[in-house]
Structure 1
Amino acid sequence: MYTPDSSIPGSPLRIGRCPMIRLQTPPAFPFLRAAALTALLWATAGVPREATASDGEGPEYRDRQVAVRLLAGSDIAAFNGRWGTTLVASLADENYHLVEVPELEDCEQLALLMAADPEVLRSDLNFVVEGPEAVRQMVVGAVGGGWADFEFQRMAEAIGVATAHAYSRGEGITVAVLDTGVYEGHDVLHDRLTWPGRDFLDGDNEPRDEANGVDDDLDGMIDEGYGHGTMVAGLIALVAPEARILPIRILDDEGRTDLFTMAAGIEYARLAGARVINMSFGARLETLPGLEYLFQRCAAEGVIPVAGAGNDNRSDLPLYPAQVAEVFMVTALDTLGVKADFADYSERVLVAAPGVGLRSSYPEGEDDEEWGLGAGCSFATALVSAEVALILAQDPSLDHGAVRARVASAVTDIYSLPGNEAYLGRLGTGMIFLPLALGADQTAVPGIPELAGLHLDAYPNPTPGTVRFSLPGGRSAAIGPLAVFDSAGRLVRRLDLGATGIGIWDGLDEAGRRLPAGAYFARLSTPAGVLRSKVVLMR
């Protein structure tokens, strides 16, 4: 068993069964930073997960568990001696510990009494935190379809994914996904995950999205959180395809975790080098727990936390941690750009993003290519996390405030749409539009009528084998690739039109194979809309 040397500054200290770690280690000493990360893993293994509730209406918490933050220099062993508690786990950067209270004690009352201890900065029940989609079972798995349905879904067009990729693809940026884990075998996630990930439920480095087939939380729904993390990761991969995704499993297959495990996941992500932390979960708490320092430290280091507003169509009590000042709060829109019927709204919302009918990777099916449909602020959050990755890849020097300003300003108007008038100022600044966040000209905003109602030119058509695609009226523009699909909707070829706006298709697929006669469909996403053309190939 590893026994650290407590005489080395920054090294973990073992107290009882759990180590403490000093996370103030300067980034200039990566070997010490790695030691802190290793200690964090030891500190958070094996946290009991049974939950209870204070009453029928109050927020749930882990039975007999209290999280305490002590003054710097205070001794957790001495604290346990005073209160008769037992250390469960520790994140001792700020002297933050999870303790178990004696069996016959009133957990709520004891947490209140601990707050009066002169060495205690904060004491909280270890509240249960949930993924909003798990509460309403808003993930529909195994819906079929293919890559084209995923890559060219309506959402991608609405936020300008194809155009954005001419400016940035997220290269060099790590996005931590704190969720139910991921199914690493899916084709969408192939070679896009960074390791080691972390599973804080099983205590290992294999954060897989898995289900046990049991209704563990007795809510009448079985494994309602399953697939959530894989779908969130897939959406991030779609929007920021060259970003690295760091999977961190803190939610179980019912979509539940607790505050202490959430804190451990955030610290792991920060220490592992993530620049973006996607948090698709939350709890409704009247009083904020004493974890603001985690997010303040993230912001100071240029790490961007992003979280969903919630799925209860309310504005009176925003989800924690989305309501923390340093967190980018995101709400969801439907396919028409109107507030989704379930989406929470608040003056604290930063931006809105599509959050209904989104297709993404799902952890089932043959050939590692199954798809799920989801609705919820979690999925809108994933799109904003990916947007942040695109921005940081373009300019890694941007700090928290600069990124926030960029995201808030790169939007299209939604308040003029029927149905949104009642929410003025409570859906953020508008719907995200990626090209604007990356420096595209204002003419890239949807609604510019330059190409409205026009079709992609194809000549000759029908064709014996080769066809010339061009923008209508001889226009030229630097735009993304043109995609050709067969009659079954399968993507068969991509063509780069380049600055000339002209592309030649030779009737071959991506592997150079001669395609059979039949109808094919070309699609080109432009800043002003989508151009389409039907081509008949003759042999």
Structure 2
Amino acid sequence: MRRIIRLSAFFSLALLTVLAVWFFSENQEEDLAAEQSGLQAQMDEIFAEDVTYTVSMFLDKMEDQLLQWANHKEKERDLSDLKEEIFDHPHYQGFALVYENGEVNKVGSVTDNPQEKLTKEKKEGVWISEPFIEKGIEKLLIGTKAGSTWCIGEMDLSFVSSFINEIAMITDDNGQFFIGSSNLAVDFDPQETELPYVKKSVPGIDWDVYVHSQPTAKVKEPYKEGEVVVRLKEGVDAKKWAKERGVHILDQEDQDCVFRDYDRSTDQLLRDFSNDPNIYFIEPNFTVEKQTAYHGKRSSTGLKEKPSIVEPQEEGGAEPNDELYDPYQWNLNQITITDGWQRTSGSADIPIAIIDSGVDPEHVDLADRITDGYNAFEDNGHYHDENGHGTHVAGVAAAVTNNVEGIAGVSWDNPILAVKALDSNAEGNAFSIAEAIRWSVNNGARVINLSLGDTHDSEVMRDAVRFAYEQDVVMIAASGNESVETPMYPAAYPEVFTVAALDPDGNRAVFSNFGEHVDVSAPGEHIPSTYVNNEYVAMSGTSMAAPHVAGLAGLILSINPELTNEEVYQIIRNSCDDIGDPGVDAYTGHGVINVTTALSLAAGE
């Protein structure tokens, strides 16, 4: 009987243990799900604000173009010499002069009686219509008066629609859906909208942005299935080795190779080759991706180069004259940069490599900065950006400045090496990153920006980082965007300088990863910058924070090119303004970078 009681007690304890494990496991999962849901809602809010920034920048640029054409009208009634410019413009479909007597002189397509549709004053002297659809195209009118004559442009809103993609929508001031995800628009009633939708308003025009992104159901694969990275011993012929083992060579850099088998899994390949006497190491071909606060490819139409309204000024002025600098680039004030530009705007002898999804080689704010480029997938010079992420990162670090166009970069004169190691979805692998790092070093990079990463420590990528470090190259990496302490690579390598993100109030951005490996912080929310096809958008993420520091490193080396990479790291740390907890902390590192103080230290002051 006692034995039965003991057994009953044992099974009761076992059952209680199982129930306790189940209970805590379930609650941990629920807590984790709640935490992820909360972060997702915060990310939605950040993206909604990015959309409002982007729409505002877009409309401001369209306004500038309209005012330029209106200025032409005052000089000449004939619009024939504007035809080519208007027809080539990807957003304006037409321009019209409407005289007091009702006569209309127009180029391109402009709806009938356009002046009657200009019902909303965007700002003093500039009016816009309600959005409308004509021939299946979302359109908007914008106009201004020159004396008694209306100058009106009709624009296509496709760019805005493509940027907000499938996770946002915009309504006009009457609450009518007019642009964005048609899936969200089904049975959508703004009056009844509540969580989980996030709502933000576009300043000055009463448009509302609604965002609700569902967490992706797709589980990201940690590595390329059926592929392995192998370092063969010296003297081993890769082709012969592959043929004997029934695998295909996908890529090779010296004795480092990527092999694929169409029948065996990665795990099988690791088991089959792990004891091979001809190799130094074998590992999966780990995936690596960009570090923006939201994911997905964003396509867009293009904005061709337009003539400047103001002549570019000589460098050395107190502040740049770029059209989006004053109203939108709050981020540059946060890093105390204006006085620093008086010391240096960079040097053509200190290239900054942007290892990313490539860079738009024809962007008006980047073309003159790009001196060379590389495609790590194809082993050629085709570095054109098919995603937009790399173009945005490059603009933050080193956009052409004082050209009236677009934005100002942290550096004005440092060359850009445009290195494509992420694909059209801004995804790559450890081998492509390693190749990109080695190419950058061998082609003169003094600074490398790595706004990418993943949680897997790759031998082939680590060796490339060590190679760059031994060549005294400064490497700047994004900490990651999951709001976790889990190390991301390459950011967690000791040779790499890691950057966390701040919001406009100087607080840690909610998405920014943290840990003892975080060195410093920089602006990472709502950062305006260049985008593919001559566009400008706002993005958020530690991807945007890192190039602020890469640009600063370029400026430091421009003042003193003899500095080692560790000396550059130390200057940046020592010049930070402490924020967050006093002293160095896991969330903001040594604090927010201070460009002016850093350049003073670089000059030996």
- Aligned CA RMSD, in angstroms, stands at 2.9
CA distance in 2 between counterparts of 1:120 and 1:413 reads 48
Query: Which secondary structure does the structure 1 equivalent of 2:464 belong to?
Result: helix
Q: Map 1:18-37 onto structure 2 (within 5 A).
A: none
Matched, 1:157 2:333: yes
Query: Which secondary structure does the structure 2 equivalent of 1:331 belong to?
Result: strand
Q: Are residues 182 and 441 of structure 1, via their aligned partners in 2, closer, same or farther at CA, if it must alter by over 3 Å?
A: closer
Query: Which secondary structure does the structure 2 equivalent of 1:121 belong to?
Result: strand
1:140-183, Cα deviation, whole Å (9 max, x unpaired): 98999x93323662111111221111222220210111112222
Matching residue of 1:323: 492
CA distance in 1 between counterparts of 2:357 and 2:594 reads 28
Matching residue of 1:126: 285
Give the conservation status (yes or no) of the 8 Å contact 2:500–2:587. Answer: no
CA distance in 2 between counterparts of 1:80 and 1:187 reads 46
Matching residue of 1:308: 478
> Tell me, which stretches of 5 or more residues in structure 2 are unaligned?
1-217, 304-320, 399-408
CA distance in 1 between counterparts of 2:345 and 2:441 reads 22
CA distance in 1 between counterparts of 2:573 and 2:563 reads 14
Displacement after TM superposition at 1:407 (Å): 1.4
Q: Are residues 416 and 148 of structure 1, via their aligned partners in 2, closer, same or farther at CA, if it must alter by over 3 Å?
A: farther
CA distance in 1 between counterparts of 2:246 and 2:257 reads 15
Matched, 1:207 2:383: yes
Q: Which of 369, 379, 384 is residue 192 of structure 1 equivalent to?
A: 369
Matching residue of 2:413: 242
Q: Are residues 284 and 135 of structure 1, via their aligned partners in 2, closer, same or farther at CA, if it must alter by over 3 Å?
A: farther
Q: Which of 279, 299, 306 is residue 469 of structure 2 equivalent to?
A: 299
Q: Which of 248, 254, 257 is residue 97 of structure 1 equivalent to?
A: 257
Matching residue of 2:273: 114
Give the conservation status (yes or no) of the 8 Å contact 2:572–2:593. Answer: yes
CA distance in 1 between counterparts of 2:505 and 2:302 reads 22
Q: Which of 231, 242, 255 is residue 392 of structure 2 equivalent to?
A: 231
Q: Give the aligned residue type for 1:65.
A: E
Q: Are residues 162 and 388 of structure 1, via their aligned partners in 2, closer, same or farther at CA, if it must alter by over 3 Å?
A: same
Q: Give the aligned residue type for 2:351.
A: T
Judge which range, 201-210 or 351-360, deviates more. Answer: 201-210
CA distance in 2 between counterparts of 1:105 and 1:91 reads 23
1:469-501, Cα deviation, whole Å (9 max, x unpaired): xxxxxxxxxxxxxxxxxxxxxxxxxxxxxxxxx
Give the conservation status (yes or no) of the 8 Å contact 1:346–1:427. Answer: no
Q: Are residues 395 and 440 of structure 1, via their aligned partners in 2, closer, same or farther at CA, if it must alter by over 3 Å?
A: closer
CA distance in 1 between counterparts of 2:368 and 2:460 reads 37
Matched, 1:406 2:571: yes
CA distance in 2 between counterparts of 1:71 and 1:412 reads 48
Displacement after TM superposition at 1:202 (Å): 5.2
Displacement after TM superposition at 1:58 (Å): 7.5
CA distance in 1 between counterparts of 2:362 and 2:302 reads 18
Displacement after TM superposition at 1:352 (Å): 0.7
CA distance in 1 between counterparts of 2:299 and 2:325 reads 15
Query: Which secondary structure does the structure 2 equivalent of 1:296 belong to?
Result: helix
Give the conservation status (yes or no) of the 8 Å contact 1:112–1:123. Answer: no
CA distance in 1 between counterparts of 2:245 and 2:585 reads 50
Matched, 1:363 2:528: no
Give the conservation status (yes or no) of the 8 Å contact 2:392–2:529. Answer: yes
Q: Are residues 360 and 140 of structure 1, via their aligned partners in 2, closer, same or farther at CA, if it must alter by over 3 Å?
A: farther
Judge which range, 370-379 or 64-73, deviates more. Answer: 64-73
Q: Are residues 207 and 345 of structure 1, via their aligned partners in 2, closer, same or farther at CA, if it must alter by over 3 Å?
A: same
Displacement after TM superposition at 1:350 (Å): 1.0
Q: Are residues 187 and 81 of structure 1, via their aligned partners in 2, closer, same or farther at CA, if it must alter by over 3 Å?
A: closer
Give the conservation status (yes or no) of the 8 Å contact 1:134–1:254. Answer: no
Q: Are residues 98 and 143 of structure 1, via their aligned partners in 2, closer, same or farther at CA, if it must alter by over 3 Å?
A: closer
Q: Are residues 312 and 151 of structure 1, via their aligned partners in 2, closer, same or farther at CA, if it must alter by over 3 Å?
A: same
Query: Which secondary structure does the structure 2 equivalent of 1:163 belong to?
Result: helix
Displacement after TM superposition at 1:441 (Å): 11
Q: Are residues 436 and 306 of structure 1, via their aligned partners in 2, closer, same or farther at CA, if it must alter by over 3 Å?
A: same
Displacement after TM superposition at 1:200 (Å): 3.2
Q: Are residues 393 and 311 of structure 1, via their aligned partners in 2, closer, same or farther at CA, if it must alter by over 3 Å?
A: same
Matched, 1:337 2:514: no
Q: Are residues 253 and 441 of structure 1, via their aligned partners in 2, closer, same or farther at CA, if it must alter by over 3 Å?
A: closer
Q: Which of 451, 454, 458 is residue 283 of structure 1 equivalent to?
A: 454
Matched, 1:64 2:240: no
Give the conservation status (yes or no) of the 8 Å contact 2:293–2:481. Answer: no
> Tell me, which stretches of 5 or more residues in structure 1 are unaligned?
1-55, 211-225, 445-539
Larger helix proportion of the pair: 2
Q: Are residues 345 and 85 of structure 1, via their aligned partners in 2, closer, same or farther at CA, if it must alter by over 3 Å?
A: same
Q: Give the aligned residue type for 2:490.
A: P
CA distance in 2 between counterparts of 1:229 and 1:97 reads 26
Matching residue of 1:166: 342
Q: Give the aligned residue type for 1:182.
A: V
Matched, 1:382 2:541: no
CA distance in 2 between counterparts of 1:306 and 1:78 reads 39
Give the conservation status (yes or no) of the 8 Å contact 1:307–1:330. Answer: yes
CA distance in 1 between counterparts of 2:251 and 2:602 reads 51
CA distance in 2 between counterparts of 1:141 and 1:332 reads 26
CA distance in 2 between counterparts of 1:119 and 1:267 reads 24
Give the conservation status (yes or no) of the 8 Å contact 2:290–2:451. Answer: yes
Give the conservation status (yes or no) of the 8 Å contact 1:163–1:435. Answer: yes
Give the conservation status (yes or no) of the 8 Å contact 1:141–1:227. Answer: no
1:77-115, Cα deviation, whole Å (9 max, x unpaired): 4532553222222111xx2111122x3223213224423
Q: Are residues 160 and 303 of structure 1, via their aligned partners in 2, closer, same or farther at CA, if it must alter by over 3 Å?
A: same
TM-score w.r.t. the length of structure 2 is 0.55
Give the conservation status (yes or no) of the 8 Å contact 1:177–1:245. Answer: yes
CA distance in 2 between counterparts of 1:409 and 1:187 reads 35
Q: Are residues 302 and 187 of structure 1, via their aligned partners in 2, closer, same or farther at CA, if it must alter by over 3 Å?
A: same
CA distance in 1 between counterparts of 2:472 and 2:553 reads 11
Displacement after TM superposition at 1:363 (Å): 1.9
Displacement after TM superposition at 1:416 (Å): 4.8
Query: Which secondary structure does the structure 1 equivalent of 2:227 belong to?
Result: strand
